[in-house]
Amino acid sequence: MRVLVQKFGGTALGDSERRRTAAGKVREAVEAGYSPVVVVSAMGRKGQAYATDTLLDLIGDEGCPVSLREQDLLLSCGEVISAVVMAVELKKQGQEARALTGAQAGILTSSEHGSSRVKKIATTRLQSLLESRIIPVVAGYQGISPEGEITTLGRGGSDTTASVLAYALETEKIEIYSDVSGFMTADPDLYSGAVKIKELTHKEACELTNLGARIIHPRAAEVARKARIPIRVKYNGEDNSGGSLIDSEVNIEQDKAITGVATRKNVIFVEVFLEKAESYSKDLQIFKLMAEKMISLDMINIRTDKLTFLLDKPRIKTARKVLSDNDYKFSFHDDFCKVSVVGGGMTGQPGVMARVVEGLNSAGIKIYQTVDSHTTISCLVKAEKETAAVAALHEAFNLNEEVE
């Protein structure tokens, strides 16, 4: 049996015409000899009836705060509705299909609400449906805890659902359909010269999504990497181009150090001032204090007189309280963004940082902090320079030609 996981994003299911197109993609897979497992997100975007953000608005007004448990119950409904509607659409097109919640599909998670982790997949029901030539249509983004509670996997969780099901079922590949045709060398809204990346590694996909390219969830790419399952990101329309292929082994041109440029905004740059050398060890406890409040820090820099790092804007209130309650002297800055270059080809290639610095400097962009790894270099720049920085780095590495 050739099993294929096909995941359809919310915009790919946003109206009846798009749902017909999506069901047609599933039918084509069946005709090609595959046994598809379909994973769906909540339909549409904010403002449309069953989109995740629309459901959140139902409980976002004044009144008693809603627990994460109740929030998970509410938000899981969006994907369940999508699963039923998609199953009906498939039946209209002559395909036997069965809608399943995450729990019914055997997705067992940890007990945390709001951002649970998948612990195990019980595949018995899915295997039975596939053997009976019935297409499982699984509500993404959700599972069930050991206590029998409905849990959600966090934003982008439907991508993770697709990857963990593919891992458990040992599928041949994963197809992700959305309103974009794949990964681009930069955000086309920021740089009009961006082109599609035809092939990239799982590692590059993880880095680009972690650094701001919202194409797939980084956890989904990581699960697929470990299982060595290729992912094809495609446009849900009549466009028959190949989209972007994410695989463990792709051809990386030796002279292509960089695959793409990504940005992360809506961040706060924090400076914590250390005044006394004798309290240095105590001052470093800030990282433990932040972790206890589930605050993720980025671009951390430790000096004898100052600590600096980035955090997400939604966490600013909690972070400010942590610092104030522990008598730290600090300043918050909301006028920065993180701009990054990503590429498996930079490993062992000298001069990449020089090109980054020269490219930004030639565009009159000041670098306030950097961080790097084997496959990324990130720079902290003023938010007002985001578009200029993307253009400068894109041109510095000659990314205008499609990455094959």
186-210 pLDDT, tens per residue? 888 888 888 888 888 888 888 888 8
Q: Give me the helix-helix angle, 68-92 and 16-31, nearest 10°.
A: 70
Query: 375: which 2 tokens?
Result: 């496959």
Q: Which residues pair with 109 in a beta bridge?
A: 118
d(Cα 101, Cα 123) in Å, to the nearest integer?
13
Mean pLDDT, the chain, whole residue set: 89
pLDDT at 93 over 80: yes
pLDDT at 159 over 90: yes
Specify the pLDDT at position 277. 59
Mean pLDDT of 212-225: 85
Could you tell me if residue 47 is left (phi over 0), alpha (psi between -120 and 50 degrees) or otherwise beta? left
Three-state DSSP state, 37: strand
Specify the pLDDT at position 401. 66
pLDDT at 278 over 80: no
Q: Give me the helix-helix angle, 157-169 and 124-131, nearest 10°.
A: 70
pLDDT at 335 over 90: yes
Confidence bin at 62 (pLDDT 50/70/90): low
Query: 25: which 2 tokens?
Result: 């993609």
CATH architecture of 3-179: 3-Layer(aba) Sandwich (3.40)
CA dihedral 124, 126, 130, 135 (to 10 degrees): 160
d(Cα 404, Cα 160) in Å, to the nearest integer?
26
Confidence bin at 174 (pLDDT 50/70/90): very high
CA angle 101, 102, 108 (to 5 degrees): 145
Mean pLDDT of 393-398: 92
Mean pLDDT of 230-249: 79
pLDDT at 381 over 80: yes
pLDDT at 63 over 80: no
Determine if the pTM surpasses 0.75. Answer: yes
